[in-house]
Structure 1
């Protein structure tokens, strides 16, 4: 069985064919003549056929040599096209970047960050894909699918080969409608176990673990239950607005409802915890330029918005 040919071998043989001379090919390639001659001999031995006939004045291609050189040029051209394709894909800002995130984070980005990024990176088409975390991801880590270039998640990735950069911290609290709290006041986090809580699938399904701070500042984990289980905060917020129970959600995601008085905090902010969001991506050395640009843009803008998140 024949061994594979190296691109350099094909380039040398094509140069010999174009110059009809080992010495002239060596001059063109700026290589020692002995290396060019050695390559020709090696390839002919590899295929077991003569590619050139040696005459007194020049090298003449054999019948096999004509076909071999023709095929070699085609291979070299395709190789060059592949290199150019990879270079364009790696080094251009133009194209699609897919950003996965929970729906609440997408809302925040859409309100405060993405319009500004669109102005500074007009070449980008930013494709937003909802990736609400699951209970399994809470246990084992975030799943980074191939359909995302970047992923924002409250959990680090399962795949240890991925990069997880701290993106931002955000305060998470408990909220209810004014009517609900008027009828069912809450003084301490521990009282939540006796309330109707709208639970989230990613926090355990029907039995959720909600985390707060105790009076001395230590983490306080409470198991709560309720009649509704949601896979994201949007329906949970709507149910809470209707007085159907208490929702556990980031403050930033309820800015509109809090300002309108549709929801109110059940506990003081100092009894609530901060959670970490992670920005997950592949190694920077294999990221296309457009993905790096969005990554850097998101990271730069979020630093100026901590007052809206904590």
Structure 2
């Protein structure tokens, strides 16, 4: 019977075409991953990879073995994760990806209560402005918006991703507030360049009656991170269009003010993303339910809705 370590090393190496990347995901050295794969090949009596100095390539037999192994391996990992702790208490590493701005504002504050209930879990939280690949990068959960729902991945909505126009009270002092989106071009604009596309995204605003209008911002300051955009607005450098979730606390404390309160842009939803496999690890299920329950308890979906004005 093959060990789980050998099978995990093979599957991650095949998915990433690299022993080094597989080692990073598994918390091993590249030499250990290579050794596990070599042992698997020796025990099976077949060659699974064609090795070169550039990358790993599966042999025909290796491709067949990967196809038949990967789903079963995930089920086995989930089954093991569910029974590794006494009294069904989940244990192990909980690897989660989330955007820095949203994660620090809304997810990190939940950690003390979560760990108090589940002390055997070890959070490994990655704060990054990108859509990760949950399967190939070994994440249990991702939190954000704009993810492609690859086969086997499901989403659970937490809050709307509504974009609103904001400024600091100091910046607006002595200035006439805009009355419709077309007025925004007259102010200093703080905009964000997308890390994924390299472009500055234009927003079309809508109101409660269904009318739509472009919201042009002068590109006075350009950043590539929502937190930087929020800070620039807070410092009184201009106005910006930001997701309510990223500035909710500042709005509620009065540090920022909303302009055009009847207008917003809809950027989709902020969701939890995780595997839909039948035997979901207990740690994943518990985390997803905990976060969703807290968002419901704190009415965060309603508070993040720019459509409410």
Q: TM-score range by the shorter chain?
A: 0.5 to 0.7
1:309 and 2:304 correspond: yes
Whether contact under 8 Å (1:101, 1:132) holds in the other structure is yes
The within-5 A match list for 1:145-156 is 146-156=137-147
Deviations 1:268-303 (A, max 9, x none): 1x3224541121111232432212221222222222
Cα displacement (A) at 1:252: 3.6
Count the aligned residue pairs.
Answer: 221
The within-5 A match list for 1:13-24 is none
Deviations 1:20-58 (A, max 9, x none): xxxxxxxxxxxxxxxxxxxxxxxxxxxxxxxxxxxxxxx
In the alignment, the residues of structure 1 paired with residue 246 and residue 79 of structure 2 have an alpha-carbon distance, to the nearest angstrom, of 40
Whether contact under 8 Å (1:196, 1:226) holds in the other structure is yes
Partner of 2:277 in structure 1? 284
The within-5 A match list for 1:192-231 is 192-202=184-194, 207-214=200-207, 216-231=209-224
**CA 1:94–1:111 in 2, change beyond 3 Å: closer, same or farther?**
closer
Whether contact under 8 Å (2:168, 2:255) holds in the other structure is yes
TM-score (norm 1): 0.61
Partner of 2:46 in structure 1? none
Partner of 1:189 in structure 2? 181
Q: Which has the larger radius of gyration?
A: 1
Whether contact under 8 Å (2:192, 2:225) holds in the other structure is yes
Q: Which has the higher helix share?
A: 1
1:244 and 2:237 correspond: yes
SS in 1 for 2:178: coil
1:157 and 2:148 correspond: yes
In the alignment, the residues of structure 2 paired with residue 245 and residue 251 of structure 1 have an alpha-carbon distance, to the nearest angstrom, of 17
Whether contact under 8 Å (2:203, 2:265) holds in the other structure is no
Whether contact under 8 Å (2:79, 2:279) holds in the other structure is no
Whether contact under 8 Å (1:157, 1:280) holds in the other structure is no
Partner of 2:246 in structure 1? 253
1:262 and 2:255 correspond: yes
The within-5 A match list for 1:1-310 is 87-92=79-84, 93-110=90-107, 112-133=109-130, 143-144=133-134, 146-157=137-148, 159-182=150-173, 183=175, 185-202=177-194, 207-214=200-207, 216-268=209-261, 270-273=262-265, 275-306=268-299, 307-310=302-305
**CA 1:265–1:149 in 2, change beyond 3 Å: closer, same or farther?**
same
Where structure 1 has 5 or more consecutive residues not aligned to the other structure, the ranges are: 5-82
Cα displacement (A) at 1:221: 4.1
In the alignment, the residues of structure 1 paired with residue 77 and residue 249 of structure 2 have an alpha-carbon distance, to the nearest angstrom, of 46
Partner of 1:51 in structure 2? none
**CA 1:215–1:96 in 2, change beyond 3 Å: closer, same or farther?**
closer
Deviations 1:144-173 (A, max 9, x none): 451421111211325233212223225431
Partner of 1:79 in structure 2? none
TM-score (norm 2): 0.61
**CA 1:288–1:215 in 2, change beyond 3 Å: closer, same or farther?**
closer
Whether contact under 8 Å (1:205, 1:229) holds in the other structure is no
